[in-house]
Amino acid sequence: MIKVTVVTSSPTNAHQFAIPLSDSGLLVTEDALTQQILDLHKADKTPGTAARVLVGENIALVIGVGTNYKARDFAAAAVRAASDKAPLILRANSAAEAKALAEGAVLGQKTPAKFKKDSKTQIDVQIVCAEKVDISREVSLANTIVAIRELINMPANELWPEKLAKEAKSLAKGLPIDVEIWDERKLEKEKCGGILGVGKGSVRPPRLVKLTYRGGGKHIAMVGKGITFDTGGLSLKQPLSMIGMKYDMAGAASVLGAIVGAAQLGIKANITGFMCLAENMPSGQATRPGDVLTLRNGKTVEVLNTDAEGRLVLGDGLSLASELGPDHIIDIATLTGAASVALGKRYAGLMGKGDAISLAKNAAAEADELLWEMPLPAELREILKSDVADMVNSRIGAPAGGMLVGGLFLSEFVPKDASWAHLDIASCANNDSAPYSVYPSGATGVMIRTLIEMAKRA
């Protein structure tokens, strides 16, 4: 874990200190770090890289920042390079920079692992700043995101719909958030056929968690996909594709993190969140290809692919959100593998309509998270036509524009004049490579800061 404090001067005892190395050289003067020394230790200006240099009894961590110094990313890289044997010193030229450093330091840490004995380390980060600065809000939000990452990283035998609902209630405890948990009987009463249809195959029944935060101001509805494990159902995934499917509840966890974070910060917005939770399993009770489900808004869906289940649970959640008449509707989901094909491993896809699109773009820019707008081409809607129902959930053998077709399906569950943003985070919710920016390996918690920024700006 990370302990972060602000101090007015560096400690006199042995410590580590981080210095940014840009394309133009060191951004902080340090006489001992000559070019010859930097070359000897193979210091690299590539963002996120680190070289350790002995300076007297202290260690200099030379952190590459490339052409564009970003305090959050710099602090995150420094934490990843630091030892837990001595304090890590970061220098800030302003209160704003100190806050960004504090947030980056907490976000950059390796996510604690419940089942790994050597995962509990304590790094003491001290930010040297001449100004008086309160970093409590930044640290609190960052710690919430770390907690959400821990939740997303949990294996499916430790986290199922009912358990995730309880975790949501626990994280919201003590905050001005009302938590309502719908069991399978309530879901049936409320005609949530999508969530029920996806969850039918599991011995662990589905849940819906409704979170309500009343901070005043505009009303935002957030809907998250929460498949605690996705086997593909009877349309069973290949073994390799099934690895990592514990991350398929990242959208719902992100909604939880955003509302908890908004409440912690006292953001002036009214937020209603819907966590749509199910486990997608094959069994004698499971939904079959060709079955027809009736979702909350009355639309019927012929299920041709039980592995296109996220859009079914979101259909119910978006219908419930739409009934509230909010100013903006946002859904977030690890929806399509096609998102990675189109956008790689770091960008989230953005689709939708109305003011929510510019709101999402501006919020992502402020949060420094990568978001790319994609179209919703009308001609692809033909793929979703059904002979026996209002629509199909997926068309086998029609891979073109898979991410976009997912967005088109969801558009059927929001009003035509809605301000709606759909965030497909299948590409970046889980980082299966080396850490980058403020994101560790494993669950990234991506877009939580963007969602909170959207609430601020709404």
CA 167 – CA 154 distance, rounded (Å): 12
DSSP state of 347: P
pLDDT tens digit string along 220-247? 999 999 999 999 999 999 999 999 999 9
- Among 45, 70, 80, 311, the active-site one is 311
With beta carbons less than 8 A apart as the criterion, state whether 370 and 376 touch: no
The residues with which 301 forms a beta bridge, in sequence order, are 293, 391
pLDDT tens digit string along 257-309? 999 999 999 999 999 999 999 999 999 999 999 999 999 999 999 999 999 99
Are residue 129 and residue 240 in the same domain, yes or no? no
pTM exceeds 0.75, yes or no: yes
Average pLDDT in the 186-203 region? 98
Residue corresponding to tokens 């609902």: 165
Are residue 182 and residue 44 in the same domain, yes or no? no
> What are the distances in angstroms from CA 207 to CA 213, 396, 410?
20, 28, 20
Confidence of residue 119 (pLDDT cuts 50, 70, 90): low
Please check the confidence at residue 121 and state whether its pLDDT lies above 80.
no
Are residue 105 and residue 153 in the same domain, yes or no? no
> Cα–Cα–Cα angle for 335, 313, 232, nearest 5°?
60
Q: Is 298 left (phi over 0), alpha (psi -120 to 50) or beta?
A: left
Q: Where are the beta strands (DSSP E) in 23-104?
A: 25-26, 50-55, 58-66, 88-91
Tell me which residue of 82, 64, 76 sits closest to 20, measured CA to CA: 64
Picking from 108, 134, 160, the residue at the C-terminal end of a domain is 134
CA 387 – CA 290 distance, rounded (Å): 11
Please check the confidence at residue 120 and state whether its pLDDT lies above 70.
no
Q: Tell me how many domains the chain contains.
A: 2
Q: What is the CATH number of the domain that holds 308?
A: 3.40.630.10
CA 98 – CA 104 distance, rounded (Å): 10
Are residue 167 and residue 87 in the same domain, yes or no? no
Are residue 245 and residue 354 in the same domain, yes or no? yes
Are residue 363 and residue 397 in the same domain, yes or no? yes
Residues in the chain: 458
- Burial of residue 406 (CB within 10 Å: 0-12, 13-18, 19+) is buried
pLDDT tens digit string along 336-387? 999 999 999 999 999 999 999 999 999 999 999 999 999 999 999 999 999 9
Are residue 67 and residue 145 in the same domain, yes or no? no
CA 152 – CA 18 distance, rounded (Å): 31
Are residue 350 and residue 334 in the same domain, yes or no? yes
Tell me which residue of 187, 18, 154, 169 sits closest to 86, measured CA to CA: 18
Picking from 101, 134, 167, the residue at the C-terminal end of a domain is 134
Average pLDDT in the 77-97 region? 96
Picking from 134, 158, 193, the residue at the C-terminal end of a domain is 134
Are residue 163 and residue 211 in the same domain, yes or no? yes
Are residue 113 and residue 179 in the same domain, yes or no? no
Is 311 catalytic? The answer is yes
- Among 191, 237, 346, 353, the active-site one is 237
Neighbours of 426 (CB within 10 A): 26
pLDDT at res. 116: 83
pLDDT tens digit string along 297-326? 999 999 999 999 999 999 999 999 999 999
What is the pLDDT of the chain when averaged over all its residues?
97
* Numbers of helices and strands, H then E, in the chain: 14, 20
Is 237 catalytic? The answer is yes
With beta carbons less than 8 A apart as the criterion, state whether 114 and 444 touch: no
Average pLDDT in the 80-104 region? 97
Q: Please report, rounded to a whole number, the percentage of residues in the chain having pLDDT higher than 70.
A: 99
CB within 8 A of 80, min separation 6: which ones? Answer: 50, 108, 109, 110, 435, 440
Q: β-pairing, 292-294 with 270-280?
A: unpaired
> What are the distances in angstroms from CA 211 to CA 180, 214, 223, 281, 359?
7, 10, 10, 26, 22
Are residue 168 and residue 317 in the same domain, yes or no? yes
Q: What is the CATH number of the domain that holds 117?
A: 3.40.220.10
pLDDT tens digit string along 432-445? 999 999 999 999 99
Are residue 295 and residue 339 in the same domain, yes or no? yes
Residue 264 identity:
Q
What residues make up the domain containing 268? 141-457
Q: Is 92 left (phi over 0), alpha (psi -120 to 50) or beta?
A: beta
Element of type H or E holding 212: strand 207-214
